[in-house]
């Protein structure tokens, strides 16, 4: 349509030129020719303006479309990365393994941003410890208190741009050129950690940051639950020592090795019932916990220290002969005499230990036989007056079943 109108304009302009040429012979035609020429010029100018405006509008629309396409491509790439990260995190078996994965994805998902992930401390729920970080200008904050961060207080994302009036978190250093984003890691109603991002002031808010935080929070919560279940399956709930099942499995593995001896130390707290009657069950539990810590200090790095049941404990000592087992037992027996146990503001009484030793292969080759002989040795220590270390009397040694 526009091309037709432009052609018409040029046709009229041509006619006007012919009329002007004829006006040299007939002057009365000149005004009419001039009117026709002006009309043609106005039509051509209008149509050219319409064409130019249409092209400008098309260019603007194309630029907007290209921008939308780029944004969709970035969005698609981020979604792919997030899906990949989620899959990798699901394959992780420990917290440390999952934490090592985060920087590689943080760098790619948030270009231009420095980032860090803090996780809730295992011993103190009020403190979060630095676990992972990425970027060129990292802040040297190894731990922070929950009250230092507004995102943790509000349980919602918190943005503080130094170029604008904003409430800043105490765990961030003041920088007039920086924008900071804090997002709590929430899973099943619990705060498992914190994601922090830092960029130049005025930078656009990072897309997918909250989705990233949600995936990380869920992965960390799942891994912590798995670790708790593994610990519960291996550890005694009161003392934190290995439980009887794990001890027996560890002893069976050691006995499967034919190249070295293995020592077993069976420990019993003397007169524990009297101690419990005097100080109550709370006092008895406090004593067992303190005793467990003392045993871990005295025993070797590779020894398997376990609670056998009640006030009895078993220590499996790989590659240890009778002399080594007795030396550690005697040291432990002396150490516990100086054990200081407090409970409910009271200093509890002292204790002594009786212990029985059995060593493979001299006292057996199976778990059952070694434990039975260590128990006979413990009985001999009790019968001799307690507070001593004994080996099984020769006439009481049990033999492996055929």
How sure is the predictor about 121, in pLDDT bands with cuts at 50, 70 and 90? confident
Instruction: Confirm if 333 and 393 have CB atoms less than 8 A apart.
Output: no
Greater confidence, 217 or 396?
217
Read off the pLDDT of residues 123-146 as tens digits, 9 standing for 90 and up: 666 889 999 999 876 666 788 888
Asked if 311 is an active-site residue, the reply is: yes
Read off the pLDDT of residues 241-295 as tens digits, 9 standing for 90 and up: 999 999 999 999 999 886 679 999 999 999 999 999 999 999 999 999 999 999 9
Read off the pLDDT of residues 197-225 as tens digits, 9 standing for 90 and up: 988 877 788 888 999 999 999 999 999 89
The candidate with the shortest Cα–Cα distance to 244, out of 316, 302, 326, is 316
The candidate with the shortest Cα–Cα distance to 255, out of 363, 122, 126, 348, is 363
Whether pLDDT at 32 is above 60: no
Whole-angstrom distance, CA of residue 158 vs CA of residue 168: 9
Whole-angstrom distance, CA of residue 107 vs CA of residue 115: 8
Please tell me the number of Cα atoms within 13 Å of 391 on its side-chain side. Answer: 14
Whether pLDDT at 347 is above 60: yes
Dihedral of CA atoms 47, 53, 56, 60 in degrees, nearest 10, equals -140
**Which pLDDT does position 296 carry in this prediction?**
94
Tokens for 164? 């604008």
- Residue 144's Cβ-count burial label (10 Å; 0-12, 13-18, 19+) is buried
Locate tokens 């029985």: which residue? 356
Give whole-number Cα distances, 58 to 6, 53, 61, 297, in Å.
Answer: 20, 8, 5, 79
User: Could you write out the DSSP letters of every residue in 148-178?
Assistant: G-HHHHHTS-EEEETTS--PPPTTSPP-TTE
| From 73, 210, 311, 312, active-site residue | 311
Q: Which helix (H) or strand (E) holds 381?
A: helix 367-383
82-109: average pLDDT: 93
Sequence length of the chain is 402
Whole-angstrom distance, CA of residue 103 vs CA of residue 101: 6
> Burial letters for 365-387: b for 16+ Cβ neighbours within 10 Å, e otherwise?
eebebbbbbbbbbbbbbbeeeeb
> In this structure, are strands 262-269 and 353-360 parallel, antiparallel, or unpaired?
antiparallel
Query: SS3 for 263?
Result: strand
> In this structure, are strands 178-187 and 190-200 parallel, antiparallel, or unpaired?
antiparallel
- Report H helices in 256-338: 272-298, 322-336
């Amino acid at each position: 349509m526009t091309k037709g109108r432009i052609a018409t304009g040029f046709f009229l302009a041509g006619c006007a030129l012919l009329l002007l040429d004829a006006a040299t012979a007939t002057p009365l035609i000149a005004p009419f020719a001039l009117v026709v020429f002006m009309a043609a010029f106005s039509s051509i100018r209008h149509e050219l303006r319409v064409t130019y405006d249409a092209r400008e509008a098309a260019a603007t629309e194309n630029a907007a479309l290209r921008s939308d396409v780029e944004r969709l491509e970035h969005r698609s790439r981020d979604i792919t990365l997030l899906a990949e990260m989620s899959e990798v995190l699901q394959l992780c078996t420990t917290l440390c393994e999952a934490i090592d994965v985060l920087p590689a994805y943080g760098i790619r998902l948030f270009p231009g941003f420095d980032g860090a992930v803090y996780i809730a401390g295992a011993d103190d729920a009020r403190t979060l410890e630095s676990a992972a970080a990425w970027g060129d200008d990292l802040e040297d904050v190894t731990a922070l208190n929950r009250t230092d961060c507004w995102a943790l207080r509000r349980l919602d994302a918190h943005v503080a741009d130094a170029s604008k009036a904003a409430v800043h978190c105490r765990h961030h250093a003041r920088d007039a050129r920086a924008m900071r984003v804090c997002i709590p890691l929430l899973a099943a109603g619990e705060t498992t950690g914190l994601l922090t991002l830092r960029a130049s002031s005025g930078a656009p808010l990072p897309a997918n940051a909250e989705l990233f935080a949600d995936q990380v929070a869920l992965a960390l919560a799942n891994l912590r639950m798995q670790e708790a279940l593994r610990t519960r399956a291996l550890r005694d709930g009161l003392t934190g020592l290995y439980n009887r099942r794990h001890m027996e499995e560890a002893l069976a593995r050691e006995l499967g090795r034919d190249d070295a001896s293995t020592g077993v130390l069976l420990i019993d707290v003397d007169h524990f019932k009297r101690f419990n009657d005097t100080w109550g069950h709370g006092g008895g539990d406090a004593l067992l916990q303190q005793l467990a810590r003392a045993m871990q200090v005295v025993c070797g790095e590779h020894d398997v220290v376990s609670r056998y049941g009640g006030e009895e404990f078993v220590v499996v000592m790989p590659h240890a002969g009778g002399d080594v087992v007795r030396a550690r037992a005697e040291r432990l027996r002396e150490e516990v005499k100086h054990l200081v146990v407090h409970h409910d503001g009271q200093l509890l009484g002292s204790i002594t230990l009786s212990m029985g030793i059995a060593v493979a292969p001299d006292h057996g080759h199976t778990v059952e036989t070694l434990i039975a002989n260590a128990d006979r040795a413990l009985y001999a220590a009790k019968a001799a007056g307690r507070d001593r270390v004994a080996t099984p009397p020769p006439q009481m040694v049990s033999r492996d079943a055929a």
